[in-house]
Structure 1
Amino acid sequence: MSSRVVLKTKGKSTKGSKPSDDKSTSKLLKEWSTWTMKKAKVITHYGFIPMIIIIGMNSDPKPSISQLLSPI
């Protein structure tokens, strides 16, 4: 009548198998490329406008920040 708690783990199993046996090279490559693309998307999303402002501030006519941000 006692209840028993069973914990299921995600990821690689630890019972006598090698890490290279669990996943094939193509699966690892797919996971790595997916992870890389997600990180690149975040970096591009948050870095594009600051990059444009920095490039604009270093251009020849030297505009002020209000001139860079105004739509006119």
Structure 2
Amino acid sequence: MASKAVIVKSKKSGGKGGRGGYEEKTMFESFKDWSTWSLKKAKVIVHYGFIPAVIIIGMNSDPKPSLYQLLSPV
């Protein structure tokens, strides 16, 4: 059974003074747009959440360090 590309209509933003219309996208193009959008959001979340996550995990470790000991380079 061969799979068929389904055409999805999505609203096209009309820019300055232009008329908004509909553009046809295949299912693959819609998935590509969605995955690009979600990966950009995940990149921002990881970028701003990595250091706080390391601090929280470090504070919950077995020999409980103080915040100064955790952040000092020595």
Shorter-chain TM-score bucket reads 0.7 to 0.9
Aligned positions, number: 59
TM-score calculated relative to the size of structure 1: 0.74
- Alpha-carbon deviations, 1:40-66, whole Å to 9, x = none? 100000000000000000000000000
Give the number of the structure whose residues are more often strand, by fraction: 2
C-alpha distance in structure 2 between counterparts of 1:55 and 1:7, whole Å: 52
Which residues of structure 2 form unaligned runs of 5+? Answer: 1-15
Larger radius of gyration: 1
CA apart distance, 1:22: 1.4
1:8 has 2:18 as partner? yes
Match of 2:24? 22
- Looking at secondary structure, tell me which structure has more helix per residue: 1
Cα distance, 1:9 vs structure 2:
4.3
RMSD between aligned residues: 1.9
Return the alpha-carbon distance in structure 1 between the equivalents of residues 56 and 39 of structure 2: 24
Counterparts of 2:60 and 2:53 in 1: how far apart (Å)?
A: 11
Paired with 1:24 and 1:51, the residues of 2 have a C-alpha distance of 39
Identity of aligned residues (%): 59
* CA distance in structure 1 between the aligned counterparts of 2:70 and 2:38, rounded to whole angstroms: 32
Instruction: Give me the TM-score of the superposition, normalised by structure 2.
Output: 0.72
